[in-house]
Structures are given as C-alpha cells and as structure tokens.
Amino acid sequence: MREKPYIEVTGIATQEDAKQVISGFKRAGISMEKSHIPMAGVLSSHEPENTYTSDWRYPRPERLRGIFEDLSKLGIAALHYDSKNPKGFAEKLYPILRPLYEKGLCKGLQINVHSPDKGQVKKIASSFPELEIILPLTRNGLKIATGSEEYEPIRVADYIRPYYDFISYVLVDPSLGKGGELNANVYADIYAVIDEQFPEVCTILAGSFDHNNVHSRIRNLMDYIGSGFGIDAQSGLRSQVRPKGITDSQFNKNKHKYTLFAPERANEYLRNAARAFGV
C-alpha cells in the first residue's frame, strides 16, 4: 500500500525551530488526516564537514531527542542521515537512530547516501521494521549506479529497483538540499516511471521550493501529474548569514552552510503549499 504524500520542512536544528514548524503546520491545516501529511526533517551526519561544529543545519547529537520529542507531536519526523560511506553507513547510524526509534520519536529515515549499498538498506529495514525509509534520487547517485546523471526513465527504474522492497518514498532531488531543480516535464517523466513500475512507493519532489514559488510550482506540476506527489524544501527556507572571520573565498564556496532556519519563510511555504494542494 502506498503511503500518503507529505509536505516537508527540512533543516530543523533546535527545539525552537521545531515549535515554530509545528505551529506552522497547524495554522496551514496540514495534518495526518489530510491528503498530504506533515513531515519534518532533521539532519545528522558523522562526516566532518557536516557536523554541528561547521554547519548550522546539523544539531548537536545530544539535542536530537529534545527536537524529536517536540516534532513527534506533529505526526512524522524523519532523520536525514548523510554519509559518504555507501557500504558501511548503517553501523554509524544505529547509535543515533535506535534510541529515537525505540521511544517512538522518529518515524522516518532519509538515507542521504549516493547509491547506497543494498545490503545496508536491507539491514536498516530489518532492524527498524516500522520505519518509513526515504531514498533520494540524485544526479550523483544516478551517475554512480548507472554511469549517467541524466534522469532517463530506464536509468531511474534501474536505480530504484534494488531498494524497492525496503523503501516507502523516493525523493527526487537533483542536488540533495542545495537548491537545484528540474523542469516540470522532467519531474513528470520521473513521476510516471515510479507510479507505473513501483506502485507502493510515493514520490516526493524537491529542488528550489521556497515560500514565494511553492504555490505556482505545485499548480504547474499538477497540470502534468495530478496531486499524488509530495514536496520537500530546505535551502529555500533559510536566511543567509555571514559569520565573523570568514573570508570571501570561504563564504562563496560554502554559502549553503552559512544559513539559519527562517520560520517565517517556512510558515508561508506551508500555507501556500496547503492552498495549492487543497488540503
């Protein structure tokens, strides 16, 4: 059975962020009873460049429980785990995920690993049977797995097929959180492949959604594929800041890291998304 599509806000790093997002979902009328359900994403990683010491999107590990306790009141909260180790990420993930899962706080896991090892995904699905697993479909992942980063239907199907038995969602995100987007007709072609060949998987679309464009982009996509998809936004819901002591070169190279969650943008995004989907 296919899960309901969701409207997601990703990049929550504090309990205050969590409270703001919960309030935003409630005001927008997005709930577990609607056609599109609420989802909140929290980033985590063991990669040095993605830790809380260098990237404000990643909360300290000891703060995860408090954030997830707040978000669990919403509906589904997902851990977005980043790793560059496709064959060994599960072992590092377990100590973070297990206590959240066993307390009933974390209901979803997005595996931010380009072309993850099937055995690792299977191991996670077996260890956490109630977990909704989200598989990103990125250009880098496609290139690693199929030799091309182009979203051709046969390559999309070949990429998803090994994971089909273990996943609930496919997230179509060309740049994995950095704001890259695809043309509506490309999203439509990908959606058609997933809809036809993987009937128990729900498609989530991402890439440059923000508070200003989300309504028009959803309505445009609905002209192609109806309303059975969900959306996720991260970079478009953040405001740029520049820390003291950062050189121009450092800032320009890592602009996506020097941002803070912007609750007013997130709340407007939720209102406009709900209006577009008619929830």
Residue in 262, 186, 182 with CA at minimum distance from that of residue 10: 262
Q: Is 111 part of any domain?
A: yes
| Dist CA 52 CA 43 (whole Å) | 10
Structure token pair of residue 158: 């070949």
The predicted model scores a pTM of 0.92
Give mean pLDDT, residues 120-143: 94
CB 261 within 8 A of CB 12: yes
**What's 174's DSSP letter?**
T
Backbone angles phi, psi at 75, to 5 degrees: 150, -95
- Tell me: the pLDDT tens digits for 17-32? 999 999 999 999 999 9
- The boundaries of the domain holding residue 147 are 6-277
- pLDDT greater than 60 at residue 53: no
Question: Quick one: pLDDT at residue 242?
Answer: 72
230: confidence class by pLDDT, cuts 50, 70, 90: very high
The DSSP 8-state label assigned to residue 2 in this structure reads P
Cβ contact 167:133 at 8 Å? yes
pLDDT digits 0-9 by tens, 66-81: 999 999 988 789 999 9
In the chain, the number of structural domains is 1
Has residue 194 got a pLDDT over 90? yes
Specify if 135 maps to a domain.
yes
Q: Evaluate whether residue 1 is within a structural domain.
A: no
What CATH code is carried by the domain that includes residue 32? Answer: 3.20.20.70
| Helical (H) or strand (E) element with 267 | helix 263-277
Contacts of 141 (CB under 8 A, 6+ apart): 114, 115, 159
The string of pLDDT tens digits covering residues 94-123 is 999 999 999 999 999 999 998 999 999 999
pLDDT at 55 over 60: no
